[in-house]
Structure 1
Amino acid sequence: MRERLDRLVNAITSGLALLGAVGVMAMLVHITLYVILRNFASAPIPATVEIVSYYYMVAIAFLPLAWAERRGDMISVEIFSHFLVGRIGRINAVFVSVVTFAAYLVLTYTTWTVAMRQFTAGSYVISLSVAVPVWPSYFILPLAFALAALVALYRGVMPPLPGAAK
C-alpha cells in the first residue's frame, strides 16, 4: 500500500512539473512566433503579453510547487534540526509538515475565493481588439497550493523510506 501511494504522489507531482516544463516550451514557441511575425509579416499574435503573464508564467511558477515540496526542495531553516534526532526529530518533522500544510491550506482557500470571484465576473482582458478570458488562469493557484498541501501532509505522515531517492 505504501509503495502504491508513493508512486501515485510521485506520478502526480512529476506530471505537474512536466506540465510546467511544457509551459516553458510553449511560451518559448509562442514568443518566438510573435517576434518573427511582428518583425517579418507586421502581424503580431494578438494578446501575447496577456497570455504569457496570465497563463504561462502562472503555470510555470506554481504547477511544480507540489513536486518541489515532495523532493524537500522548498526553503527551510535547519539551525537546530541536526540536534533533533530520533523521536524528537520525528516530532519536529511532523510539526513542520503540519504547519506547512496549514499555510498551504490558507493559500488554497484565499486563492480559491479569488478564482471564484473572477469566474463569476467572467474576467477577461482586451488586447488589440481581442477579448482574452483570464478567469481560468486563476484556478491554477488553488490547484497548485492544494496539491502542495497534500504532499506536505503526506511527507509528515509518511516520511521517506531510508535510501529513497528524491
Structure 2
Amino acid sequence: MDRLDRAAERLAQALALVGALGVVALLVHVAADVALRNLLARPIPATNEIVSRYYMVAMAFLPLAWVERRGGMVRVELIDAALSPGLKRLSELAVAALTLAIYLTLAWVSSEHALKQWNVGAFVDVLGRRVIVWPTFFLPAAGFFLAALVVAQRILALLSGRSLP
C-alpha cells in the first residue's frame, strides 16, 4: 500500500505541476499578446481561443487529483464532532463512495463527449484559420478519472483501517 500511496502522491504532484505550468504559459502568452498588440499592432492570432480552451481547461481539471489528495474539496463537518470514531469512519466511507461514483460518472460522460469531438475533428475558426480544439475535451475526463483514483485509494485506506494522508 505504501507504493500505491507514493505513486498517488507523485501523480497528484505532477498534475498540480502541469496546472501550475498552465498558469505560467497563460501569463506568458497573454503578456506577449498584449505587448505585440500594443507595440507592433500585431496580436497573436487565436489567443482568446487558446487561453479559454487549452490553458483554463487544463488549470481547472488536471489538478483535481492533487486537491482531492490534500483534502481541499468542500467539506461539511456539521455533526462529525458528535460521531463516535466508528460512525465517523463510516460517514467518511459513505462520502468517499458517493464522491467516487460522481467522479467516475463525470469521467465517463466527459470521455464519451471527448471521443465524439475527436471523431469529428473539432476545431474553431479564427480569421480563416482552423484551431484544433478536440484534444482539450480529454482534459476534464483525465482530471475526473485521476481524482476518482485518489478517492478509490482513500476508500481502500478507510477499509483497511489506515489513517488518511
TM-score interval, smaller chain: over 0.9
Give 1:143's aligned amino acid.
A
Partner Cα separation in structure 1 for residue 3 and residue 84 of structure 2:
28
Q: How many residues align?
A: 163
| Counterparts of residues 127-166 of structure 1 (less than 5 Å) | 127-159=126-158
Q: What RMSD over aligned residues (CA atoms) do the two structures have, in Å?
A: 1.5
Partner Cα separation in structure 2 for residue 146 and residue 4 of structure 1:
20
Partner Cα separation in structure 2 for residue 156 and residue 50 of structure 1:
39
Partner Cα separation in structure 1 for residue 143 and residue 31 of structure 2:
28
Query: What is the Cα deviation at residue 138 of structure 1?
Result: 0.2
* Superimposed CA distance per residue, residues 87-135 of structure 1 (whole angstroms, 9 cap, x where no aligned partner): 2211111111100000001111111111011111100001122210000
Partner Cα separation in structure 1 for residue 91 and residue 12 of structure 2:
24
Counterpart residue number, 1:69: 68
Counterpart residue number, 1:99: 98
Q: TM-score, normalised by structure 1?
A: 0.93
Counterpart residue number, 2:110: 111
Counterpart residue number, 1:27: 26
Partner Cα separation in structure 1 for residue 62 and residue 156 of structure 2:
23
Partner Cα separation in structure 1 for residue 84 and residue 13 of structure 2:
30
Q: Percent sequence identity over matched residues?
A: 44
Q: TM-score, normalised by structure 2?
A: 0.94
- Conservation of the 8 A alpha-carbon contact between 1:94 and 1:157: no
Query: What is the Cα deviation at residue 161 of structure 1?
Result: 5.5
Counterpart residue number, 1:55: 54
Indicate the SS of the match to 1:125: strand
Partner Cα separation in structure 1 for residue 13 and residue 153 of structure 2:
15
Indicate the SS of the match to 1:126: strand
Worse-matched range after superposition: 89-98 or 17-26 = 89-98
Partner Cα separation in structure 1 for residue 44 and residue 22 of structure 2:
18
Indicate the SS of the match to 1:132: strand
Partner Cα separation in structure 1 for residue 135 and residue 43 of structure 2:
24
Partner Cα separation in structure 1 for residue 126 and residue 133 of structure 2:
12
